[in-house]
Each structure stands twice: as C-alpha cells, then as structure tokens.
Chains A and B, each alone.
Chain A
Amino acid sequence: MCLLVAHMRMDVAKQHDLLRRAKGLTRDSIDAEDLTQEAWLRLLSAQHKTDEPKGQGFAMRILRNLFVDQLRVRRVKAKVEAEIAVIEAEAAPSTERILAGREMLEQVRQVLETLPEKTRDIFLLHRIQGMTHAQIAKQLGLSEATVFYHVKRAALELDSLRDLL
C-alpha cells in the first residue's frame, strides 16, 4: 500500500487528468476524488501484475467502467428496495392479524433463543442492528457467504412455525 501511495504521488499530472474526467462524469468533486482514487489503484494493480506500462487511455477506460458499475449498483439497489416494499405491503394485512396474537411472537422468540450462538448473533446483527451482510462479514472477520449461510439457517429454523400462520 505504501508503494502504491508513493506511485500515486509521483504521477500527479495523470491523476489530474483522471480527476477532471471523473468530475465530468459524477458532477460531484468528492465522488470524483473517490472514483479517481479507485481507478488509480486499479491501474497500478494492473501494471504491477503485467509489468507492462499502461497508457492514459487504459486509465480512462478503468474510470469509465468503474463509474458505470457504480451507477448499475445504485440502480439495482433502488429496484431491490422497491421490491422489498411490495413484498412487505403484500404481507402486511396478514402480519397485523398474526401479530395481534402474542403467542406467535413468543414462539418466534423461542426459536431465536435456541439457535446456535453464532447463527443467532449474525441473524440478530442483520435483523435488529440493521447491518448488511458485508458489514457483518467485516466486523466478525467472516466471508459474506458464511454470513448468508447463517442468516438463511436462522430463517429456515423460523420456518418451523409456518403451520401456525
């Protein structure tokens, strides 16, 4: 990382060109700085792997691809959130009715209490603390696939209460 930072500081002119292009894409100076830094790191990483000098055109392509990726991620996230809202709305009347009976909540609580400790902690970090899989993975030093597995496992255990619905 220190080597990368040193390289980054050496080629200020190239960075400046990238930053100007990034500002044109993002229309936001701070987003542009983030994008430039990420593009620059990828450029250095590519150079490091191949030992071939990469031109400014290559750097610009990285920048543009990163920007397109970011836009795509944001767009998909918005669509997924809209989908979740639809699912919640479709289940809402039943949820109200079910929760009017305290027994269901008590049973759910009991199932959660009997989960293996790791599964329970991960599931509650996700559901109660509102952490994403990536955040949990980072905090607990696990892979996102492992977090996914534990969240799913907890949800499958809760499924034993399906007959009560």
Chain B
Amino acid sequence: MRRVSHIGPDQDLSSQAIEWLVLLHSGKMTEAELAAFRMWKAQSAANRDALRKAQILWQASRVAGEHVPALTANRLHRRAFLWGTGASAAAAVAGLGIGLNQMGQGDYVTAPGQSMQLELGQEGAFVLNTKSRLDRLPDLGFTLRYGEAALTAGERSVLLTDGSYRVEVASGSALFRKWDGPLEVANLSARRVRIFDPDGSASDLPPRHAWRFETSFKPYAIDPEQRTAWQRGEIRFEGSRMDAAIEEVARYLPHSVWLMNRAVKASKISGVFATDQALVALRALARTHDLRLDEVGEMLIVIS
C-alpha cells in the first residue's frame, strides 16, 4: 500500500487530488493519512479546486461506467444476451421456464426491469430479478455474480457458491441478494439452508432469517412477504430511508439515479409501487418532498 509521504509537491495538484481521492475510497486510509489529507485540503484554494474537479470526474465515472461494456462480467453479460435473443430471451419474456440442459455452463442475465425463470428439474427453480446474473459452475452449483435470485429448492438440494463459502438449500424457498457488497442469503421457508465456512464448519440459517457474508454468523429476522414482493411485480417500502428506496426503484430502470438533495436522504418512506412502472414510482417518491426530477439522456436521472 502506498503511503502519505508519496503524495507531495513533486506531483501536480490534480494528481495529488486524485491520489487522495483514491486513498479515501480505498477502505485502507489510516488516521494519520486522514489528518494529512485535511491539512493538504486546508492548505490552499487551489488544492480544494483540484479536489472538487477530481470529485466531479470521479462521480461521473460511476454513471458513465455503468454503460461501459468492457468489464469482464459485462462482456459475458452481453454475450449471454446475444445468445439469449433466441429461445431463452423469448422464454424469459413469456415467463416460461428454461430447461437445465439449455443452461450448460453459461451465464443467465436479466436486463433492467426483466425477470427470468430457470427450471432446474428435480432441483427446483430459480427466478432472477432485474439486473442480475447467475452462473452455473462445474461441481460448485451456482454463483450469483450480482443482483437477486429466488430459489425454490426441490427434493434434491441446491448448492450455491460465493467465494470460499457454500450454501446448501433443501426443500423450500431461499433468496440471494448481491447488490452493492457481499452476498446476503435469506431462508424464506426452506427446510434447511446450511452455510459452510471456508474451514468446513456449517451453520444453519433459521426460516425467516437472513445473513450477510461479511460478518460473523449473526442471522437477523426478515419479512419474507416484503422480500419477495418483486416476484408479484411490487416494490414495497415500510419506513425505508428515502435514499434506499430510490436505489431500490432504480434497479428496475436502465438509468443511474442520483439523489442530490442530502436533506431528504434519511427521511422515511412507505408505499407499494409496480416494478414495471419504476419511473412513475420514482416521480412519486420525488413528489413526496417536492423534489425535481430531471432525466439526463438515457443514462442518468437527477433528483434534486
């Protein structure tokens, strides 16, 4: 890891600003580095201006990056779509199942607002929510690259792999989510959801409980009805934060959505919206606080 002493006057101001920004977002900044950054920022208006410009480009990269087809995952994503323009896409649109024999080792990807059902024969079935990708791995079951997948396991248990963890689901329903950050697994009604640690020890997730893979095993209670609302074409909020609600709705749209009004981010929202009317939902959310909604081309919606 690079250290503070490397950010100095030998670099031009914009390079210094960029390096500070990267360090701030790295998750590894130390207290001494934070103090040095604050001193650097306070040093001159030129430093602050360099930082402001770097921040604008940094933020723009988040929006524009979602439309860059070069990420390995996205390349696979596109390939799956090209391949899927035939049988699988038609089946998905029509809400029909896809036989396991058609799955092979390929990737299954849903576009914004799309859902897809994958029939697994005796193992049961997956339903993929919007903006999701599920892969089948040789000998390791499935892996959710990103998005959300509901599993109804049949008589034969289904294995899902995430890094060095394994999850085995038997007889019933489980839900997997991987939006921003580590995988979350929820036991909706399965007889068994067993999580195997990298060292081989196993923990059982009780029904109506979930667990996120980043922490020690601490299951927390969930409401299965609320979690599976999307399978009924609904997005449900009950006392949710405004920023979280907007993020959830945005998953059903091809746009990035930015909430620029910081004052309302933590305000609480309740309501039920239709997944196929996500833009209407977004407008309704904006209206609750008299916010303005601007569509910037096909990429971005700014709520301010």
Contact = CB atoms under 8 A, between A and B. Distances in A.
The answer to whether A and B assemble together is: yes
Given A105-B64, A128-B66, A130-B181, A145 B2 contact: yes
Interface in A63-120: 72, 75-77, 79-80, 83-84, 87-92, 94-96, 98-100, 102, 104-106, 108-109, 112-113, 115, 117, 120
Given A76-B29, A134-B28, A125 B71 contact: yes
A148 B26 contact: yes
B22 interface: yes
Contacts of A125: 71
A76 B30 contact: yes
A95 to B, nearest CB: 5
A157 B304 CA distance: 29
Contact of B24 (A80, A96, A108): A80
Contacts of B18: 152, 155-156, 159
Contacts of A90: 48, 52, 55
Interface residues of B, number: 62
A127 interface: yes
A127 B65 contact: yes
A127 B62 contact: yes
A75 B199 CA distance: 30
Contacts of B304: 96
A28 B163 CA distance: 27
Most buried by A among B14, B28, B302: B28
B31 A132 contact: no
B38 interface: yes
Contact of A162 (B53, B146, B296): B53
B72 A30 contact: no
A79 B52 contact: no
A56 B57 CA distance: 53
Contact of B70 (A106, A120, A145, A155): A120
Interface in B55-69: 55-69
Contacts of A133: 26-28
Nearest to B164: A138
B272 interface: no
Contact of A99 (B1, B55, B60): B60
Contacts of A46: none
A158 interface: yes
A6 interface: no
A25 interface: no
A165 interface: yes
A159 B262 contact: no
A88 B176 CA distance: 31
Contact of B1 (A91, A132, A145): A145
A108 B60 contact: yes
Give the 3 A-B CB pairs with smallest separation, nearest first. A108-B64, A132-B27, A91-B55
Given A34-B216, A106-B64, A109-B64, 6 more contacts: A80-B29, A120-B68, A120-B70, A148-B2, A152-B22, A165-B57
24 contacts: A5-B199, A76-B34, A79-B34, A83-B37, A88-B59, A100-B296, A108-B61, A112-B61, A113-B68, A124-B70, A126-B25, A128-B66, A132-B27, A133-B28, A134-B27, A134-B28, A148-B1, A148-B26, A151-B22, A152-B18, A155-B18, A158-B58, A159-B14, A159-B18
Interface of B: 1-2, 14-15, 18-19, 21-31, 34, 37-38, 48, 51-72, 74, 146, 163, 180-181, 199, 216-218, 258, 260, 262, 294, 296-297, 299-300, 302, 304
